[in-house]
Structure 1
Amino acid sequence: MLKWLRFLGVATSIIMLIVIIMGALVTNTGSAQGCGHHWPLCYGQVVPDLNSDHTWIEFSHRAVTGIAGILIVILAVWSWILYSKVSWVKFLCIGTIFFVVLQAVLGGLAVIWPQSSFILALHFGISLISFATVLLLTLIIYEQSKWKAVIAPPLSKGFRVNLVLCFIYLYIVIYSGAFVRHTDSSLGCLDFPLCNGQLIPPLLSRAGFQYTHRLLAGVLVIWLIINFIHAFRYYRNSGWVYWLTLLSILITLCQAASGVMVIFTRMQLSFLLLHSFFVTLLFGALSFLLMFAIRKTKAL
């Protein structure tokens, strides 16, 4: 049975990743109103006539989100029953259900009533948190049922604080990127590394929104490189810390490259989806580091 629980955790993590990418597909194809202003039904029907690409995309996203919600509830209840006394489990079980419901509600409200760009951008951030809670719960399930060891690298207090701040900053960068997309500012700058031939464009403009996101992302890249150098010097024997800091840099570079290609290809859909895919992976990697930074060393 524990083998099936681990499989459920992995499967739920994957389907949550798919939900996020499908959400990006909805946004980037303009399919948010593919079911009209109806939610949770689609044009008042359980299964609508799928005679429109926008309807098909929006309805598929809702269906997969529903499946993900069912799997999350099963995973959370099962984990609670078996491991409720384990640190983080109760918190993550509640979090997985809360955030997937919040994600669905925000999506539904965006369909029924027009929402501001600030709220629409928040929807993507909530989706990432929902994905991360499932991912971390799955890690604990593996620790308890297979590895029989809690991953708690002996990190210095300073590096722990640094990882927490880095994670918070990542969320700010992600929100700024979602805000750029929901204000139709993805092509505010039509070139790179300059912005419409300018070093610094007017900040209170579509170009300024994208320029600000670029600056924030650039600082993040530098921060992640510093993290890796520190991990390489002091934590090479802590495999998880070393490899996750290295992986975070590689993912960020891929994400940055896809972002540049979004500009050069004038928002080709494949690069837009890749951009969302890489940022989700980065959020997952830094979620692991966040857990290692704030959990206490404790043997099974």
Structure 2
Amino acid sequence: MKDRYLRIVSIAGVLSVLIVVLMGALVTNTGSAYGCGNNWPLCNGQVIPTADKQQTWIEFSHRIVSGIASILTVIQAIWIWIQLKKVKEIRFLAIASVFFIFLQAFLGAAAVVWGQSSPVLALHFGVSLLSFASMLLIAFIVFEETLPRAHRIVPPIHRGMRWNFILLSVYSYILIYSGAFVRHTESTLGCTDFPLCNGRLFPEPLVSKAGIQYLHRVLAFIILVWLIITLIVCLKRYKNIPSLSIVLFISLIFIFLQSVSGIIIIKSNMALYSLILHALFVTCFFGLLMILLMLGLRKTNG
């Protein structure tokens, strides 16, 4: 019975952090970052705000959800530390989940109280993704260890493919950071058409909002091709390990959806729904990629 409750907590933890990430995107894209003024943890000097402004309630709701996610993260970390202490990855992930959820909260609070530069604000989204990924990996392991018929997946991965997963993960984080940087430098509409950039193959001048947007497009195209090649190689070399190809295929779907939502952002002149979908797809993609990386790093004799 306690295994069942642990699975429920792990799912709740993943969903709560995902909601935090999406609400963070909502805060950014509705201009609600200062909905509670420069106050933290209070909101405009109040425990519960009385203002009727939409931005205030969006920011306040984001803080409430972040608090709930933090509590769930700590409870889960303590629980798995005790119950699953023999699992190799679990203690690292328990510490990482708590570290990233509180680092995320600190960066958010710092941005409200002291203000932050665009690079630091972009980093905030990157930390949020690491927080989500750590929770997703924990949930994956919890289900591996507690479901009656489940087993620990330890695919025999060659060194070259293992390094491919590592480099793919690092590159993906850079890509995601570049996307957050695009948003926080207000470069989303630096290119107002697609696939050209303001009617040109290359933006002019290159060092501009159009250049920032164009660089993000190039990075996104590279990872799309990279994933397709990796999937083809896995289908040929690892036919006996379907889990790798399945995770890769779903990851490819999400990166494709993210690309489509990016085009919709431009075509719809930054419609809110397209911005939220863009954040959702990239968050799911990164989480799946971290599962792939974890499987790739597992030793066969482990």
TM range, normalised to the smaller chain? over 0.9
Instruction: List alignment gaps of at least 5 residues for structure 2.
Output: none
Q: Which moved more, 1:32-41 or 1:230-239?
A: 230-239
- Whether contact under 8 Å (2:10, 2:138) holds in the other structure is yes
In 2, Cα distance between equivalents of 1:52 and 1:13: 30
Is 1:291 the counterpart of 2:294 in the alignment? yes
Corresponding residue of 2:232: 229
Q: Deviations over 1:261-282 (max 9, x none)?
A: 0000000000000000000010
Is 1:7 the counterpart of 2:4 in the alignment? no
- Whether contact under 8 Å (1:187, 1:263) holds in the other structure is yes
Q: Quick one: which amino acid aligns to residue 109 of structure 1?
A: A
Is 1:76 the counterpart of 2:77 in the alignment? yes
Shift in Å at residue 236 of structure 1?
2.8
Corresponding residue SS for 1:257: helix
Shift in Å at residue 203 of structure 1?
2.2
Corresponding residue of 2:261: 258
Corresponding residue of 1:281: 284
Q: Deviations over 1:252-298 (max 9, x none)?
A: 11100000000000000000000000000100110100101112235
Corresponding residue of 2:212: 209
Corresponding residue of 2:223: 220
Shift in Å at residue 148 of structure 1?
4.8
In 2, Cα distance between equivalents of 1:189 and 1:30: 21
Corresponding residue of 2:175: 173
1:1-300 matches, cutoff 5 A: 1-146=2-147, 147-201=149-203, 202-298=205-301
| % same residue | 52
Q: Quick one: which amino acid aligns to residue 19 of structure 1?
A: V
- Whether contact under 8 Å (2:155, 2:298) holds in the other structure is no
Shift in Å at residue 238 of structure 1?
1.2
Shift in Å at residue 151 of structure 1?
1.1
- Whether contact under 8 Å (2:179, 2:216) holds in the other structure is yes
In 1, Cα distance between equivalents of 2:206 and 2:72: 43
Q: Deviations over 1:123-182 (max 9, x none)?
A: 000000000001111111111111452111111110010011000000000000000000
Q: 1:125 to 1:175 in 2, by over 3 A?
A: same
- Whether contact under 8 Å (2:254, 2:281) holds in the other structure is yes
Q: Deviations over 1:17-60 (max 9, x none)?
A: 11100000000000000000001111121111140100010000
- Whether contact under 8 Å (2:104, 2:127) holds in the other structure is yes
Shift in Å at residue 237 of structure 1?
2.5
Q: Quick one: which amino acid aligns to residue 164 of structure 2?
A: N
- Whether contact under 8 Å (1:203, 1:212) holds in the other structure is no
In 2, Cα distance between equivalents of 1:237 and 1:101: 40
Q: Quick one: which amino acid aligns to residue 171 of structure 2?
A: Y
In 2, Cα distance between equivalents of 1:69 and 1:113: 22
Q: Which moved more, 1:229-238 or 1:141-150?
A: 141-150
- Whether contact under 8 Å (1:150, 1:298) holds in the other structure is no
Q: Which moved more, 1:135-144 or 1:57-66?
A: 135-144
TM-score normalised per structure 2: 0.97
Q: Quick one: which amino acid aligns to residue 130 of structure 2?
A: I
Shift in Å at residue 9 of structure 1?
0.3
Q: Quick one: which amino acid aligns to residue 187 of structure 2?
A: S
Give 4+ residue runs of structure 1 displaced > 3 Å after superposition. Answer: none
Q: Quick one: which amino acid aligns to residue 277 of structure 2?
A: L
TM-score normalised per structure 1: 0.98
In 2, Cα distance between equivalents of 1:148 and 1:263: 44
Q: Quick one: which amino acid aligns to residue 296 of structure 1?
A: K
In 2, Cα distance between equivalents of 1:277 and 1:226: 24
